[in-house]
Amino acid sequence: MNKKYFNLIFSALFLAAISLAMTSCGDDDDDDVENPGNSGTKSELAGKWYVDVTTTAYTTSIPEAQDYYNHEETEYGNGAYWEFTDTKVTVHDPNDLANNTSVKYSYNKAKRTITIAGSLVYTVEELTDDEMCLKNTTSNGNFTTTTTIEFTKD
């Protein structure tokens, strides 16, 4: 799958997540009512996080498709960044259809997750004052895509 199609598919998935969030009901506060204290302090995320590198691994359990589908792609940030406030995250990337679109997010420090637009869940692999690494895995049973994004804070 070439880079153009990957970007198109990723952008479509991101826009679908945004549209679902716009129509969802309920409160988007980052408080975890069932497990108080599990929500992270969003100030840990506040600021501009520049994308250093994005690595996407594609795998399949279908033997006939493995030679074609199983591979890894690396893309460098080229100035793209995510800007976190206390309530929203905005992706700044001219190659992304969601460029400059702000959406709500929640951060659960105990579970090490960031949920964007109510449905796009990233695992926080690393979070320091100036480095962050997020991972998202999606699968339909036969095909799996794992995206890892490494950031440096401005």
pLDDT 10s digits, 81-123: 999 999 999 999 888 777 888 999 999 999 999 999 999 999 9
In a domain, 67, yes or no: yes
pTM for the model: 0.72
In a domain, 13, yes or no: yes
CATH number at 107 reads 2.40.128
In a domain, 33, yes or no: no
Strands 113-116 and 88-92: unpaired
If one counts the domains in the chain, the total is: 1
Q: How far is CA 86 from CA 15, 82, 89, in A?
A: 21, 13, 9
In a domain, 31, yes or no: no
In a domain, 29, yes or no: no
pLDDT 10s digits, 29-82: 434 333 334 455 678 899 999 999 999 999 999 999 999 999 999 999 989 999
φ and ψ at 102, to 5 degrees?
-95, 135
In a domain, 120, yes or no: yes
Domain hosting 120: range is: 3-23+39-153
